[in-house]
A and B are shown apart, each in its own frame.
Chain A
C-alpha cells in the first residue's frame, strides 16, 4: 500500500536512508494460475482445464494442460503451484504402480481419492500448493468427481471448479447442472422455477464446459490460450483441445 511507505508512526516520517541490502524473503511457493473443472454424468465424467501457465504478469507457456491421466478410468486436474503439481502427480503415479504390483488390480477412483487425501495431509505443515479435482468412473460405472483442498479435505461432488477462475465458474455450474443425481430427490436446477429436471447428457455437458471456459477466459487474466477436455467413459479417455482467448 503506497500510503504506508515512508511513515514510521503517528506524526513522523520514517528515517530516509538508502536501502542498500533489501531483505527479500524467499518464498517456496509461486502461483502459476490455471483453472480446472470436472463434471460427473450418468455414465461418463469430464475433466477440463485451460492450458496457460503464468507467473506474475507473464506467460510461461500457452500449452501446459493441467489434466493428468492416472488410470483408464481416472483423470486428475491439478492447478496452483506447477512445481508441486508435477511432484504430486509423480508421487501418485508411483503409488498407483505399487498398489498394482501388491494387489494385482488397478486402483478405483474412490481409492485414489482416499489415497490422495492421505498424501496431502502428510504434508500438513508444508502443504502442496495444489488444488486437485479427480474425475472418473466409480465401481458401478457411474461418473464420479472428487474435489480437494490443499491439505487433503475431500468430498464427492457432481461437478466442481477449481483454480483461479473457480469463483466465476462454480455459480454458473450451480445454475446449469444438477447438483443431486438421486432420482427420488426433488432438488433441481438451483434458484430456477419450473425448469425441467433433465439429466445432463454427454454432449450437453461438453458444450457447457466449453461455454463456461469461454466466459472465464473473458474475465480471469490467468485463464486462456486453450482448453483441454478429457471425457472419460467405459470405452476409454477421449481428449480434445479447443482454442480460447490469447490475451
Chain B
C-alpha cells in the first residue's frame, strides 16, 4: 500500500527541510510520493511518481544532481542495520508453533595465545573447531594473515573470525597503498575494534593481533564488543584460563626464541588437555623484524588411537537395486594434449 506524503513549504528554511525529507525518501523508501515545493521566489510543481522528476532551478540544481547520484540501496556509513536482529528476536519469541530456532553458528571453542619475546612476537593456537559439543574440524587454521608481518588468531564464531580477519587484510592492503607505508599493528587493532564495535557484539569473534612494525613488536587482544588490551602476553577462547595459568607461572620479558616457543606451546597444550572445546595440534607463528615463520602443526601432543580391526568393504557390498545401460554414440571431433603439472 503506497502512502501519499505531501511536502510543501512556503519559505526558504522549510524548503531545506522538505528537500532533506526528499533526500531521505530517495535513500530508502521508494513509495509513491507527491511533492510540492514552493520556494519564496519561485514555485515548483511536480507530479506524483515513484522517481521524482523535479525541476529545480538555479541554486538547487546541484541538489538535483546529488539526488540522482544517490543510490537508494546505498549502505549508509558507520552504522549496522539491526533490522534482521529485530526480526530474529520477534521470530524466536512469537512464533512458537513453527519453533523457529536459528541455526547455531560453528564456534571454534579454542585456545589462542600470544606473547612478546626478545626479537618479536610468538602467536599460538589449537586446531579444533566444534559444532556445539561435536568436533567439526580436527585441524582447522586459526592463525590468519593480515599483513606481511602482522598475523591474527581468531576465537569465537568461526565465520565471524574468518570474515573479520579477511576484511582487515583487505583494509590494510588499501591503507598501505594509500599511505605508502607498511602497516602498524595499532592500525589493524583500531580498524578491527571499530568494526566489531559497530556490530555491537553480534560479530562474535575474539581476536589476538600480533606483529612487528616500524615501532617494534606489539600484541593486542580485541573482544567481540570492541574493547582491546595491549599486553606482553594474552590468551583468548574457551581455553584461555588454562593457557593463561601457564603464562602467569613462567612468563618473563625478553625470553629467547626457543624458550618463547616452548612456553606458548605449553600454554596451548594446557588448553588442549584441560578444555573440552580445544584439541588436536598446536600451530605457532613467530614474527620478527626479519620475517615470519609459520609453524603449522608445530606440536601434536595427541594422537589418534590405532584401530585393530579391518573395516574395508569388499567390492559388491553395496546392493545394486536397478541397472540401466544407455549406450552413447559419440564421434571423435578433436584431439588435444595438455601437459599436467604432476610435481
**Residues of A with Cβ closer than 8 Å to B?**
1-4, 7, 9-11, 54, 56-59, 164, 176, 191-195, 204, 207-208, 210-211, 214-215, 217-222, 242-247
B195 to chain A, nearest CB (A): 16
Residues of B participating in the A interface, judged by any CB pair closer than 8 Å: 84-86, 88-90, 92-93, 102, 109, 128, 130, 133-135, 138, 201-202, 204, 238-239, 272-280, 301-309, 311, 313-314, 316-319
20 residue pairs of the A-B complex, CB under 8 angstroms, read A1-B102, A2-B202, A3-B89, A4-B88, A4-B92, A4-B93, A9-B90, A54-B276, A59-B274, A193-B316, A193-B318, A194-B314, A195-B317, A210-B305, A218-B138, A220-B133, A221-B130, A245-B305, A247-B278, A247-B301
Q: Which of B238, B275, B308, B317 meets A193, CB within 8 Å?
A: B317
Chain A's closest residue to B102 (CB) is: A1
Q: Is chain A's binding surface mostly helix, strand, loop or mixed?
A: mixed
Q: In the complex, which residues of chain B have a beta carbon less than 8 angstroms from the beta carbon of A219?
A: 134-135
Beta-carbon nearest neighbor of B272 in chain A: A247
Q: How far is the CB of A209 from chain B (nearest CB, A)?
A: 10
Looking at the assembled complex, report how far the CB atom of A55 sits from the nearest CB atom of chain B, in whole angstroms. 10
Q: Establish whether residues A211 and B307, one from each chain, have CB atoms under 8 Å apart when the complex forms.
A: yes
A245-B305, A247-B301 known; A220 and B135 CB under 8 Å?
A: yes
Indicate if the CB atoms of B276 and A221 lie closer than 8 Å: yes
Q: Quick check: B135 and A221 within 8 Å, CB to CB?
A: yes
Q: How many A-B residue pairs have CB under 8 A?
A: 106
- Residue pair B309, A4 in contact (C-beta under 8 Å): no
**Residues of chain B with a CB closer than 8 A to A10's CB:** 86, 90
CB < 8 Å neighbour of A59 from B92, B128, B276, B280 = B276
Residues of chain B within 8 A of A244, CB atoms compared:
305
- Grouping DSSP codes into helix (H, G, I), strand (E, B) and loop, the B interface class, with mixed when no group exceeds half, is loop
CB of B21, distance to nearest CB on chain A (Å) = 21
Which partner residue on chain A sits nearest B132 by CB separation? A221
Chain A residues contacting B109 (CB-CB under 8 Å) are 57, 221
User: Which of the residues A3, A4, A11, A246 comes within 8 Å of B302, measured between beta carbons?
Assistant: A246
Q: Which of B134, B302, B311 contacts A247 (CB 8 A)?
A: B302
Bound: A207/B121 CA distance, A: 47
Q: Cβ of B85 and Cβ of A7 under 8 Å apart?
A: yes
State which of A56, A215, A217, A246 has its C-beta within 8 Å of the C-beta of B273: A246
What residues on B are CB-neighbors of A215 within 8 Å? 307
Tell whether, in the assembled complex, residue A57 and residue B316 are in contact, meaning their CB atoms are under 8 Å apart: no
Contact A247 B238 (CB under 8 A): no
> Which chain A residues border B278 with CB–CB below 8 Å?
247
In angstroms, Cα B275 to Cα A176, docked, is 33
